[in-house]
Structure 1
Amino acid sequence: MQRYFVSPADMTDLSVTITGDDANHIAKVMRMEVGDRVICSDNQGRVALCEIKQIERDSIYTSIIEPIEESKESPIRVTIAQGIPKGDKLEAIVQKGTELGAQAFLPFSSSRCIVKWDEKKGQKKKQRLEKIAKEAAEQSHRSRIPYVLPPVSFKSLLKKAADFDYKIVAYEEDAKIGETQRLAKLLNEMAPGVSVLCAIGPEGGLSQQEVDELIEAGFISCGLGPRILRTETASSYILSAISYHFELMR
């Protein structure tokens, strides 16, 4: 069943109004009719099964049949701090990370970033990433859309680390020397509800100096298994490990 996010103002106790691109998707793409049902979420935890009552050009009017009680959000609040990669890799990271339960994405620049965030095109890029996160959240039936935060400098990332309970940096040199215990140890220490900041370097990785600064800021340097992962794969590995540990093994 199709799921759509709406603003809290469009979701009352009895009805939900769907507007914009989602209304067009229902009418033109899905070709739904009066009587068809959809799931609506206000992106604040409220989810309901709704029935379409009226279809207009730019709006779909529905009535709430019943609330849906569900637990689709990860018990660990994970923010992926991603060194800005080349091409459309950041889009893939946001899409897959949303499906795997990330709470937020924080792009950052580092010394080995080949691509620099274009301030002129930055707002459009952020909007594109937010759209990808919304669509992925709908597809994976999440109750909330992850935040796509504005990009920050490496120094700003170090300052933001103080806001999190746990900090992890994925470091390929640790994997090369066979480090496989620290991530598992951290997962065993964590409890549901904690916040985690995961720093992942761009294609060229993080420099030794940057890793040293992250460690000084409270990050734990971890290898992600015995193999060296691409930058676009690392966040999926971490999120999958967290999901397995806290959602499948509980």
Structure 2
Amino acid sequence: MQRYFVDPDAVKGNSITITGDDVKHIGKVMRMSSGDKVICCDSTGRSALCEIEEVSKEDVTCTVVEWMDENTELPVNVTIVQGLPKSDKLELVVQKGTELGASCFYPFKAARSVVKWDRSKSEKKLDRLRKIAKEAAEQSHRTAIPEVEAPLSLQEVIDMEPEYDLKLVAYEEEAKQGESSNLSQALHQANRGQRVLLVIGPEGGLTEEEISDLTDAGFLLCGLGPRILRTETAALYFLAAVSYHFELMR
């Protein structure tokens, strides 16, 4: 069944109004009409089975059939700070990271990032990434859309440290040296409902200076298994490990 996200203010009692690009998708692509059923999520974690009452060019009016008891979000809130990668790899991280349960994405202007964020095109880039996150959240039956924020400097990443219960850095040198316990120990110490932050370097990894600054600020270095992962794979490995630990082991 098709799933659509709506703003909380689009919910008025048992009536929900769908607007924006989803109107065209419902009417033109899916060719839905009065009487068809969809699932609406209000981005706060609430989902409802709805029946379409009317499809117009401007909006789709639905009536709530029943509110649903869904629990598809990760038990911990995971933020991915991704070193700016080449090509469209950031889009892949956002898409697949959303499917795996990430709550927020921050691009990171790392020292070894070859790609430079064009400020003049920033909003356009962010809009595209947010659209990718929304579509991935709908496809994977999530009840919330992850946030996608503007790029951070190293100092801005460090300044976020007090907001999180667990702060990790994926570091390939730890994997090369056979470190395999930090991630496992950190996840065992974490509790449901806590906020987790993972910093990932771009192609070429993080510099020794960046690693030193992060560890001085209280970030924990961890390897992601014995193999060296591509930058776009690291977040997915981590999110899968979090899901296994909190959703399958308990």
* Range into which the TM-score falls when normalised by the shorter chain: over 0.9
Secondary structure of 2:247's match?
helix
Deviates more, 1:164-173 or 1:11-20: 11-20
Partner of 1:171: 171
1:90-142 per-residue CA deviation (whole Å, 9 max, x = no partner) reads: 00000011011101001111110101110000110011100000000011111
In structure 2, C-alpha distance between the alignment counterparts of 1:77 and 1:56, rounded to whole Å: 37
Q: For 1:23-172, list aligned pairs within 5 A.
A: 23-172=23-172
Q: Offset of 1:32 from its aligned partner?
A: 1.1
Structure 2: 5+ residue runs without aligned partners? none
Q: Offset of 1:41 from its aligned partner?
A: 0.7
Q: Which amino acid aligns with 2:29?
A: V
Structure 1: 5+ residue runs without aligned partners? none
In structure 2, C-alpha distance between the alignment counterparts of 1:104 and 1:206, rounded to whole Å: 21
In structure 2, C-alpha distance between the alignment counterparts of 1:114 and 1:162, rounded to whole Å: 29
Q: Offset of 1:33 from its aligned partner?
A: 2.0
In structure 2, C-alpha distance between the alignment counterparts of 1:207 and 1:51, rounded to whole Å: 54
CA RMSD between the two structures: 0.8
Secondary structure of 1:142's match?
coil
In structure 2, C-alpha distance between the alignment counterparts of 1:151 and 1:125, rounded to whole Å: 11
Secondary structure of 1:242's match?
helix
TM-score by length of 1: 0.98
TM-score by length of 2: 0.98
Q: Offset of 1:7 from its aligned partner?
A: 0.9
2:7 is aligned with 1:7: yes
Runs of 4+ with deviation above 4 angstroms: none
Secondary structure of 2:234's match?
helix
1:164-197 per-residue CA deviation (whole Å, 9 max, x = no partner) reads: 1110000001111111111001111111011111
Q: Offset of 1:248 from its aligned partner?
A: 1.0
Secondary structure of 2:12's match?
coil
2:188 is aligned with 1:188: yes
In structure 2, C-alpha distance between the alignment counterparts of 1:183 and 1:20, rounded to whole Å: 41
Q: Offset of 1:46 from its aligned partner?
A: 1.6
Paired-residue identity, % = 56
Q: Offset of 1:149 from its aligned partner?
A: 1.1
In structure 1, C-alpha distance between the alignment counterparts of 2:55 and 2:31, rounded to whole Å: 11
In structure 1, C-alpha distance between the alignment counterparts of 2:219 and 2:165, rounded to whole Å: 10
Q: Which amino acid aligns with 2:164?
A: F
